[in-house]
């Protein structure tokens, strides 16, 4: 091991990363990626390969996370294909140089905004949506004209293998390169001379990424998480609300960064809402959830043990669920009647199929509680009262959210997705991905016909009067 100022790293891994980046940078400097037609062709090739490996992707995600083929199509493959189609359709318009108004005292001149790729983007992928969260940022990086390096999670080995096959079959390694976790560690990959870092993962890991990137002045996007609340009042349609809360919470066994983390229900409807959520759970997954082919599993024993401790600490408050099987990493959809915001389960992001249900009578106390916590990635309001909804959204800061729904605000290409504060830095999806991976370069084209007297000393009384006319 070699000691450097930023920590320890493996010499062989460091050389491998350096050689890879040197080759990619040489390719980037050929300016091939700056051609919009080239970018469109690469995206079309990616779409073709993803479709080709659809079955392999579904099998791999079932192995790694017990995701059903339908859920994989909805939350992984389908989202990627839509992003590609949207980028292909709009890329040339996004990439156009924009001419903007020139300030009067610089005329005659042209003011231009040039959309320029950063260079080599590093995309660090989490375990929970490994295909979507690798390829959706990649679509933005390619659309903006960048080269890229992808590093996936060691917790999804089968999906990583299929993803590596897709990348290596679609792109040359001096353009887009993927490293498997066993090839390069997450710490080693950060030693690379990248021009942009796109990270999706935990807030704790995000802080370390930000620290490392900040020391080297590398721009970055952080897609993190947090405790995303649901607020429901007494005007809400309880059956519809219950179904949509259950859908968002228990998809992927609760391992979704924008899943409802806890729920504040108006005291007058909490019991009825819980009954409706139980009905929805049984409708979606059956009365014996282990037999459901549509219900996921916890990613590994470490996550299973963490969630098991939360179940144990809440055992006297569980109104539905609570069962688990260590051998299969199964944890039942679990509803917890919680009456204290100081309980263990309210102190950390749950990231699993446990939902604390609290009650409220004074909405101002709910708002004050949420304000005192780190800003969440998502917030959901269920209500038919427009003024109530408006007040919540005006009063609280969060990444994004929905009214009378959960998680679906991230499904469209026209809405930006990203956090705020502790839940993330930056945004992407659709054109926002293009701009995330683009440097906006300002260019002024001045005419030699313009007199520069106003800018040049000596500043006579006549010049000062002229300056005052402009300001």
Closest to 201 (Cα-Cα) out of 226, 178, 183: 226
Provide the sign of the torsion angle of the four alpha carbons 42, 45, 51, 57, taken in this order. Answer: negative
- 326: region left, alpha or beta (phi > 0 left; psi from -120 to 50 alpha): alpha
**136 within 8 A of 429, measured Cβ to Cβ:** yes
**What is the three-class DSSP state of 302?**
helix
- Buried b / exposed e over 327-365, threshold 16 CB at 10 Å, is eebbbbbbbbbbeebebebbeebbbbbbbbbbbbeebee
Please give the Cα distance from 122 to 202 (Å, whole number): 17
Q: What is the DSSP string of 388-456?
A: HHHHHHHH---SEEEES-SSGGGSSSSS-B---GGGEE--BSTHHHHHHTEEEEEEEEE-TTS--GGGS
Cβ–Cβ < 8 Å for 231, 379: yes
**Is residue 178 within 8 Å of 163, Cβ to Cβ?**
yes
Compute how many other C-beta atoms are within 10 angstroms of the C-beta atom of residue 266.
Answer: 20
Q: Which residue has the tokens 């509680």?
A: 369
Closest CA to 191 of 174, 216, 157, 172: 216
Q: Sort strands 378-382 and 176-179 into parallel, antiparallel or unpaired.
A: unpaired
Is 223 designated active site? yes
327 is catalytic: no
Q: How far apart are CA 211 and CA 28, in angstroms?
A: 27
Catalytic residue among 147, 257, 332, 359: 257
What does the longest C-alpha to C-alpha distance in the chain come to?
88
Structure tokens at 337: 């009647």
Nearest CA-CA partner of 68 in 330, 253, 243, 200: 253
CA 451 distance to own-chain centroid: 50
Catalytic residue among 223, 276, 338, 359: 223
Distances (CA, A) of 23 to 13, 137, 168: 16, 22, 15
Residue numbers annotated as active site: 223, 257
């Amino acid at each position: 091991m070699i000691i450097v100022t930023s920590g320890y790293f493996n010499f062989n891994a460091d050389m491998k990363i350096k050689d890879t980046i040197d080759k990619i940078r040489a390719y980037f400097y050929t300016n091939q990626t700056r051609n919009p037609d080239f970018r469109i062709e690469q995206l079309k090739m990616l779409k073709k390969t993803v479709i080709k490996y659809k079955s392999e992707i579904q099998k791999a995600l079932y192995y790694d996370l017990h995701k059903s083929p339908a859920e994989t199509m909805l939350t992984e493959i389908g989202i990627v294909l839509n992003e590609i189609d949207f980028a292909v359709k709009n890329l040339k318009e996004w990439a156009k140089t924009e001419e903007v108004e020139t300030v009067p005292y610089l005329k005659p001149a042209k003011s231009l905004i040039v959309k320029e790729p950063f260079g080599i983007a590093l995309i660090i992928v989490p375990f929970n949506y490994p295909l979507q969260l690798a390829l959706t940022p990649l679509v933005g990086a390619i659309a903006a004209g960048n080269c890229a390096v992808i590093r996936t999670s060691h917790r999804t080995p089968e999906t990583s293998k299929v993803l590596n096959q897709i990348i290596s079959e679609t792109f040359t390694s001096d353009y887009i390169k993927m490293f498997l976790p066993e090839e390069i560690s997450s710490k080693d990959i950060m030693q690379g001379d990248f021009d942009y870092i796109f990270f999706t993962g935990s807030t704790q890991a995000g802080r370390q990424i930000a620290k490392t990137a900040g020391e080297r002045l590398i721009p970055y996007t952080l897609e993190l998480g947090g405790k995303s609340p649901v607020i429901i009042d007494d005007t809400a349609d309880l059956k519809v609300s219950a179904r949509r809360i259950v859908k968002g919470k228990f998809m992927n066994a609760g391992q979704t960064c924008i899943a409802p983390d806890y729920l504040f229900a108006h005291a007058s409807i909490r019991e009825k809402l819980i009954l409706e959520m139980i009905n929805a759970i049984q409708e979606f997954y059956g009365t014996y959830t282990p037999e459901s082919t549509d219900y996921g599993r916890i990613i590994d024993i470490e996550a299973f043990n963490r969630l098991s401790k939360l179940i144990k600490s809440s055992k006297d408050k569980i109104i539905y669920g609570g069962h688990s099987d260590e051998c299969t990493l199964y944890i039942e959809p679990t509803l917890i009647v919680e009456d204290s915001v100081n309980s263990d389960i309210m102190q950390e992001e749950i990231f699993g199929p446990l939902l604390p249900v609290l009650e409220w009578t004074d909405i101002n106390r709910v708002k004050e509680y949420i304000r005192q916590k780190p800003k969440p990635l998502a917030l959901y309001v269920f209500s038919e009262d427009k003024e109530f909804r408006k007040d919540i959204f005006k009063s609280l800061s969060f990444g994004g959210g929905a009214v009378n729904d959960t998680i679906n605000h991230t499904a469209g290409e026209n809405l930006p997705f990203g956090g705020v504060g502790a839940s993330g830095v930056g945004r992407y999806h659709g054109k926002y991905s293009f701009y995330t991976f683009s440097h906006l370069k300002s260019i002024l084209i001045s005419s030699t016909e313009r007199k520069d007297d106003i800018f040049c000393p000596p500043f006579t009384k006549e010049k000062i009067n002229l300056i005052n006319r402009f300001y």
